[in-house]
Structure formats: structure tokens, C-alpha cells
């Protein structure tokens, strides 16, 4: 039976972390099968454009350079400003009017650079959120390559049933039912799990309180509270479709700690606060990255079922699927095999 093929949803997607794009840098990226470049000008402005020079088609990621606030083509020296217009040729002649780069909307937030994808290249109809960065530590981050689709990775966050069975969390409790507000989805839960390092110093499994905010299909933020240690963490989960059925899944984490940070913890008096903060951030981050590695073989080999046979205890997957429809163009259709007699239509799906 043929596996369903899902179109790429229109959304904001992470292209690169800010510390990977220094002034003057030019990087090539793929976004939903589209070749693009992202660069930072001398003054620090970020721009993303189609990768091929409109003059004679050179790929700007291969030898293209930043000249002050322009991007310069390596082939004939044509330069383009931040508005996409050609500002100069390599010959000193008048720039042709048709020589113009296609701009891609970008936003730089929280150390992450996002670009907006729409299959018809329509302008963004919503903005990624801006959160307060005061008191938060620098980002730890990594990026994995997967054979998967953004909807599957976001859906994972409302799949309450797999937390215990795949990731070995205990006492999983729904703290706030799913709420949808336009392009934003919210849900909150708590769970317990031992950590390999910290369990040496505490005699119980650590309680995590997690609030998920999904902003479209490419930007999820999990706000994590660890009450026992006075720790707040932000986990950014960023799924970016590249080409075909491939995506980059970027994970990033930072911490904010208060006066109660690790009160009563044996190492608190032995190590400087910032060093201990970095160590704890690394422990929590490695735990979440480990969760993704547990999910990875399942994601890469599962089949998307448009009409799943849901059960009590799954979590609000049906509500999530209804919310996700807004990120697909009306003309975009999922190509799927016919449902079996045991599968229920999507309008009959109920939250677990």
C-alpha cells in the first residue's frame, strides 16, 4: 500500500542559529525544496534570498560575498541590496531592471533565525512570538537530519501516550487541556523521571512541569519548570523541511535560575554559579536530545495515517489534527491510501 504524501505546511521555519551567522557570512540552505542563501551584512542585518543570481544563474552560496550591505555574485560581480534590487554590475554599467533577487521573509529571535515558507510565496499572515530574554543563559543547540514531516514532530508533543512507553516518564498528568488560538496551540503536563547524573544526589525521580506552545509547524517552545531545583528551562524544537521527505530538527535550550537554584544540592557550594548552571543545562539538554533519538527510528519508519484508530489515553491528537489544517493551502491535498474499515474519519476523532 502506498504511503501518504503530505504537502509542506506554510509556516515559520528555523534556518540557522544566530551564532552560526557572523557579519559577512553567507550560508546556503534548503527550505521545502527551494535553494536559498542567508547572509548577514556588515552592519548585522540578516537577509535570505533565492540562491541563484538572476543575471546568469550562479549559486550565491558558492563564492558569493558580502560587500558592506550588499551580496555580491561570484560570477560577474553583480551586487544586490537588501531590497533585492541590483545595485552594481561587475563592469560598472547600469544595472538591468530585471536583475532582482527574490526576498524571503526572515525574523531573528532568541538566537534563532527564522524564514517564512508558503508554497505560493504569499506574505506571512502571522508573526513568530517574541519572549523576554532577560536572565536566560546562552543557547545550547544541535541539529539532526531526519526522514520525516514537520506535522509528525509537532504532533509528538500532544501524543501523551508515548511519554511513558517510549521515554520512560512516570506519573504523566495533563495540567492544562489543549487550547488553540489561531496559529498557536497550548498544552501543559507534568511527569517524573530519573536523570543519570542528578539521581546520584537525590533519592527521588525529578518532577518536570512542561508547558508546550506550538507556533505553526516549525516553531515549538516547551517551557520546563523543575520545582525541586529552582530551575526554569526553555526547550526550542524547530522542524525545518528541506527537500522531499527530509527535514532538519534543531533543538536548543537555555536556563534561568533564581535564589532557590539547587538549594540543598551538594555541589552548590563547591562550584561557581555559572559553571554549575552550564552543567545542569547540559544534563537537561542531553536528556531531551536523548528523547529525540528514541523517537527518531519511529518517526523515520512510521506511516502517516490520516484516519488513525485512536484510543483513550492517546492525548488530544484529533484536536491537533483539526488545528493543523490551517497551515495547508486549500489546493494542497494529502495523497493517501483508502482507509480500512477499522479507521474512523477525522471528524469523528475525539481527544484522548
Domain 11-117 is found in CATH 1.10.760.10: no
Name the phi and psi angles at 135, rounded to 5.
85, 0
Domain extent listing, the chain: 11-117, 140-301
Q: Could you give the C-alpha distances from 193 to 16, 105, 205, 264, in angstroms and in order?
A: 31, 40, 5, 20
Distance CA 144, CA 135 (A): 28
Distance CA 240, CA 30 (A): 9
* Full-model pTM: 0.88
The pLDDT score that the predictor gives to residue 283 is 84
CATH architecture of 140-301: Alpha-Beta Complex (3.90)
Residue in 130, 141, 138, 110 with CA at minimum distance from that of residue 288: 141
Q: Could you give the C-alpha distances from 226 to 71, 113, 208, 292, in angstroms and in order?
A: 46, 28, 5, 20
For residue 156, give the 3-state DSSP assignment: helix
Per CATH, 11-117 and 140-301 having the same topology is answered no
**What does each of the 352 residues of the chain score in pLDDT, given as a tens digit?**
344 468 999 999 999 999 999 999 999 999 999 999 999 999 999 999 999 999 999 999 999 999 999 999 999 999 999 999 999 999 999 999 999 999 999 999 999 999 999 999 999 999 999 999 998 989 999 999 999 999 999 999 999 999 999 999 999 999 999 999 999 999 999 998 876 555 555 545 778 899 999 999 999 999 999 877 778 899 999 999 999 899 999 999 999 876 666 665 666 666 666 777 788 888 889 989 999 999 999 999 999 998 999 999 999 999 999 999 999 986 444 444 334 333 333 333 433 3
Q: Please provide the distance, in angstroms rounded to a whole number, between the alpha carbons at the two ends of the chain.
A: 28
Amino acid at each position: 500500500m502506498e504511503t501518504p504524501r503530505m504537502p509542506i505546511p506554510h509556516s515559520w521555519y528555523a534556518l540557522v542559529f544566530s551564532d552560526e551567522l557572523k557579519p559577512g557570512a553567507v550560508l546556503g540552505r534548503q527550505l521545502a525544496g527551494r535553494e536559498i542563501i542567508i547572509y548577514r551584512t556588515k552592519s548585522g542585518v540578516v537577509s535570505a534570498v533565492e540562491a541563484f543570481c538572476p543575471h546568469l544563474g550562479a549559486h550565491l552560496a558558492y563564492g558569493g560575498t558580502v560587500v558592506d550591505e550588499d551580496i555580491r555574485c561570484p560570477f560577474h560581480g553583480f551586487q544586490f541590496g537588501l531590497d533585492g534590487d541590483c545595485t552594481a554590475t561587475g563592469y560598472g554599467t547600469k544595472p538591468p531592471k530585471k536583475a532582482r533577487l527574490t526576498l524571503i521573509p526572515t525574523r531573528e529571535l532568541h538566537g534563532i533565525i527564522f524564514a517564512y515558507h508558503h508554497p505560493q510565496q504569499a506574505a506571512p499572515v502571522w508573526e513568530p512570538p517574541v519572549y523576554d530574554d532577560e536572565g536566560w543563559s546562552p543557547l545550547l543547540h544541535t541539529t539532526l537530519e531526519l526522514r520525516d514531516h514537520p506535522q509528525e514532530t509537532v504532533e509528538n508533543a500532544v501524543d501523551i501516550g508515548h511519554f511513558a512507553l517510549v521515554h520512560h516518564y512516570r506519573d504523566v498528568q495533563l495540567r492544562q487541556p489543549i487550547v488553540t488560538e489561531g496559529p498557536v496551540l497550548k498544552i501543559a503536563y507534568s511527569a517524573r523521571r530519573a536523570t543519570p547524573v542528578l539521581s546520584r544526589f537525590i533519592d527521588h525521580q525529578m518532577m518536570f512541569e512542561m508547558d508546550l506552545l506550538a507556533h505553526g509547524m516549525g516553531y515549538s517552545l516547551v517551557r520546563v519548570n523543575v520545582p525541586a531545583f529552582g530551575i526554569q528551562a526553555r526547550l526550542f524544537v524547530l522542524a525545518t523541511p528541506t527537500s522531499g521527505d527530509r527535514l532538519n530538527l534543531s533543538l536548543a535550550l537555555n536556563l534561568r535560575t533564581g535564589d532557590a537554584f539547587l538549594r540543598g544540592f551538594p555541589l552548590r557550594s563547591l562550584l561557581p554559579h555559572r559553571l554549575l548552571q552550564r552543567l545542569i543545562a547540559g544534563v537537561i539538554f542531553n536528556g531531551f536530545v536523548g528523547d529525540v533519538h528514541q523517537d527518531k527510528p519511529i518517526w523515520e519508519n512510521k506511516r502517516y495515517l490520516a484516519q488513525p484508530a485512536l484510543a483513550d489515553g492517546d492525548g488530544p491528537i484529533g484536536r491537533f489534527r483539526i488545528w493543523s489544517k490551517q497551515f495547508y493551502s486549500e489546493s494542497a491535498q494529502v495523497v493517501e491510501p483508502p482507509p480500512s474499515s477499522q479507521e474512523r474519519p477525522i471528524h469523528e476523532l475525539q481527544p484522548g
